[in-house]
Structure 1
């Protein structure tokens, strides 16, 4: 991804005008890729993913993958890019990595939702199963 950006084949997303372009965010077994919604960009990205599969033996599960577009992307571009990548398009960012997407909610509502979810998960564990230290680690991991 970095090499493709360096060579001008891909364009990442910027959080601000002067900030760096972000092409990808990696997690334990998941990633988010950022790019331009164009046929060329989709072909380059598809090539990178195919090369990754050849080198690592790991492959992308396109059935579980979703592509999100900015609101100013035309329907024609959305359809072309989705078809090239073989990924379904969605406008709903409700959940990611098992966590609710709180970006669209007011801050107070977001915090309250997460707090309630945390209490619900903690209450589900029997107090007999965990030591005091175990409870603390569990609570911190949930939060």
Structure 2
């Protein structure tokens, strides 16, 4: 049986989790523990902030590198700690792994990782991206069918990825619809047209 490198790395982490050498994280009480998540070219590891667990993580990375003849790029590797971890412990763990600490990841795969109370502020980038795209084309040079294609194919596609994962605030959707109407009817910041 031939396994991919990701499968081999996953097996090493699973073995350590099975042997309770890595705790992982629980989403809620009674749920199974998650020790790692893999995406296309990224890996997210979850461990308790102890020297023993991070020594084991460092050992797994080293073992994986020797077995696969691939090198993990530690300059692109980051660690995020919970607020309960003291500064001394953080520094010890960073020294063990040879990585850098970040307060939090703002975005992953183009999506926000943390959404606070103000959802409108988080998703405001959608409105900006749509308006830039609509402003980028010369609306005076487009016919009505050209504008329709621009709205339906280009502008409406921008929020679809984010909307497939998050519920966008209704007020922001109304503002996006207003942008489409302004583009369709030819209104701009100086001239308002009725529709």
More strand by share: 1
Task: Tell me the matched-pair count.
Answer: 137
Give the 3 Å change call, closer, same or farther, for CA 120–112 of structure 1 in structure 2.
Answer: same
CA shift in 2, pair 1:57/1:12, >3 Å: same
Shift of 1:15: 1.1
Please say which structure displays the higher CA radius of gyration: 2
1:139 counterpart = 2:157: yes
Q: 2:32 aligns with which of 20, 23, 35?
A: 20
Q: Which has the higher helix share?
A: 2
- Label 1:112 to 1:3 Cα distance change in 2 as closer, same or farther (>3 A): same
Alpha carbon RMSD of aligned pairs, Å?
A: 2.9
TM-score, normalization by structure 1: 0.78
Q: 2:43 aligns with which of 6, 31, 44?
A: 31
Where does the alignment leave 5 or more consecutive residues of structure 2 unmatched? 1-12, 162-195
Number of the residue aligned with 1:116: 127
C-alpha deviation, 1:112, in angstroms: 3.2
Return the offset for 1:120. 5.6
Match of 1:55 in 2: 67
> In 2 relative to 1, CA 89–141 (structure 1 residues): closer, same or farther, beyond 3 Å?
same
Within 1, Cα distance between the matches of 2:27 and 2:48?
14
